[in-house]
């Protein structure tokens, strides 16, 4: 959508560099063949830059020195344009400038924009562009108004016909439904994270533990409980085996598996005859179904022997005996 004003020196036109979402209410024509006056709006979304394209044409057969100024009731840090000095334009030269406007990311969330004088958030701003020329003195020869419309991003508009996307009221009405239903849709899209003990909220852990038949123990921190719940089915499957015991101790203590060693004793014990103690015979031993749990912690206080013994008692077969060694 383009608007312009014609004078005998310079021709000015403005073009919004995005499809407008607001239908212009006014339309005015001009006698000039180079300028066209149509209402122009620039729709801005927080955190995204919008651009207004300014076209200037020198209609004279001689150079012209010009300067452009942008003012309005919007905060000054929204616009990046700054032209302190006059620039020269050659005869019949055409130039274009893309004026960038950007609204802060927290525009709608920042309550400091509401003050005691106004109870409503201002979302429509008026902007003026002034064109000056230097001919002995500074002269204003062109000006143009356009609106800056701050609107939230509206994903639901993509599902409407193009005719309705151009109506600002429809966009703002649909945004109400989007804000109401979007949290539920986001929850459904990330439902897997609620069912994974590693990423689930703390309040949901008792439900997940009950789901797999795991009993929570308050002596373990949350992170250890998350990993134990996640691997509960694996621990059930390997219950009573060397692999299951090593995995349980690994999940509880955080020790690498190579620092957890389980040794079984298969020697015959005390033997009479020609023998050499320590080479082909031993004193003691011979205990059936006995094993040794050997742990190599990286820090002295990393292992709680009482809890480790409880874990071994739960995981080992009832007829087995064991010794715990923390090196």
pLDDT tens digits, one per residue of 240-285: 888 888 888 888 888 888 888 888 876 555 555 566 666 665 555 5
Task: Report the pLDDT averaged over residues 45-65.
Answer: 89
Phi and psi at residue 55, in whole multiples of 5°? -110, 130
**270 vs 225, which has greater pLDDT?**
225
Give yes or no for residue 23 having a pLDDT over 50: no
Contact by Cβ (8 Å): 140, 134 = no
In tens, the pLDDT along 307-322 reads 888 888 888 888 888 8
Phi and psi at residue 281, in whole multiples of 5°? -160, 170
Residues comprising the chain, all counted: 327
For residue 26, what pLDDT is reported? 37
Partners of 53 in beta bridges:
15, 98
State how far the alpha carbon of 142 is from the alpha carbons of 119, 125, 130, 308, 327, in Å: 36, 20, 6, 84, 87
Q: How many CB atoms lie within 10 A of CB 205?
A: 17
Task: Report the pLDDT averaged over residues 122-149.
Answer: 88
What would the two tokens of residue 132 be? 């000056």
Task: Report the pLDDT averaged over residues 83-107.
Answer: 89
State how far the alpha carbon of 62 is from the alpha carbons of 10, 90, 91, in Å: 12, 7, 5
In tens, the pLDDT along 190-215 reads 888 888 999 999 898 999 999 988 88
Q: Using CA atoms, how far apart are residues 235 and 46, in angstroms rounded to an integer?
A: 50
For residue 272, what pLDDT is reported? 56
Closest CA to 298 of 249, 264, 241, 259: 259
Give yes or no for residue 150 having a pLDDT over 60: yes
pLDDT above 90: percentage of residues in the chain: 7
Give yes or no for residue 106 having a pLDDT over 80: yes
Domain ranges of the chain: 2-153, 259-327
Task: Report the pLDDT averaged over residues 75-80.
Answer: 87
For residue 117, what pLDDT is reported? 61
For residue 101, what pLDDT is reported? 92
173-175-180-181 Cα dihedral, nearest 10 degrees:
110
Task: Report the pLDDT averaged over residues 54-79.
Answer: 89
Q: Which CATH class is domain 2-153?
A: mainly beta
State how far the alpha carbon of 308 is from the alpha carbons of 239, 288, 289, 302, 312, in Å: 16, 22, 19, 11, 6
Q: Using CA atoms, how far apart are residues 34 and 31, in angstroms rounded to an integer?
A: 9
Which three-class secondary structure state does DSSP give residue 140?
strand
What would the two tokens of residue 254 be? 């955080």
Q: Using CA atoms, how far apart are residues 50 and 16, in angstroms rounded to an integer?
A: 8
Spatial neighbors of 76 by CB under 8 A, at least 6 apart, are none
**C-alpha 286, offset from chain centre:** 62
Give yes or no for residue 116 having a pLDDT over 50: yes
Burial of 234 (0-12, 13-18, 19+ CB in 10 A): middle
* Sign of the alpha-carbon torsion through 99, 162, 150, 190: negative
For residue 207, what pLDDT is reported? 92
């Amino acid at each position: 959508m383009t608007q312009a004003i014609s004078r005998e020196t310079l021709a000015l036109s403005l073009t919004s560099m995005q499809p407008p979402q607001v239908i212009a209410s006014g339309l005015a024509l001009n006698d000039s063949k180079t300028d066209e006056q149509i209402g122009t709006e620039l729709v801005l979304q927080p955190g995204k830059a919008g651009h207004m394209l300014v076209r200037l044409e020198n209609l004279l057969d001689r150079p012209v020195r010009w300067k452009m100024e942008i003012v309005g009731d919007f905060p000054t840090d929204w616009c990046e344009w700054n032209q302190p000095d006059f620039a020269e334009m050659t005869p019949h030269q055409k130039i274009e400038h893309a004026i960038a406007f950007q609204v802060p990311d927290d525009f709608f969330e920042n309550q400091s924009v509401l003050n005691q004088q106004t109870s409503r958030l201002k979302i429509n701003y008026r902007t003026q562009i002034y064109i000056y020329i230097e001919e002995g003195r500074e002269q204003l020869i062109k000006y143009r108004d356009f609106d800056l419309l701050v609107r939230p991003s509206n994903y639901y508009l993509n599902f409407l016909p193009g005719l309705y996307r151009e109506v600002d009221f429809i966009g703002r009405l649909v945004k109400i439904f989007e804000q109401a239903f979007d949290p539920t849709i986001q929850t459904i899209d990330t439902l897997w994270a609620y069912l994974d003990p590693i990423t689930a909220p703390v309040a949901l852990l008792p439900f997940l533990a009950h789901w797999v038949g795991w009993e929570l123990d308050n002596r373990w921190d949350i992170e250890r409980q998350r990993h134990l719940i996640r691997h509960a089915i694996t621990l059930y499957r390997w219950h009573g085996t060397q692999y299951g015991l090593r995995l349980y101790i690994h999940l509880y203590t955080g020790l690498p598996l190579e620092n957890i060693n389980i040794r079984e004793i298969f020697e015959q014990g005390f033997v009479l005859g020609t023998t050499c103690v320590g080479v082909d015979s031993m004193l003691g031993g011979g205990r059936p179904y006995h094993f040794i749990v050997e742990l190599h912690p990286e820090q002295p206080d990393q292992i709680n022997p009482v809890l480790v013994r409880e874990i071994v008692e739960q995981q080992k077969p009832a007829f087995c005996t064991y010794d715990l060694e923390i090196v």
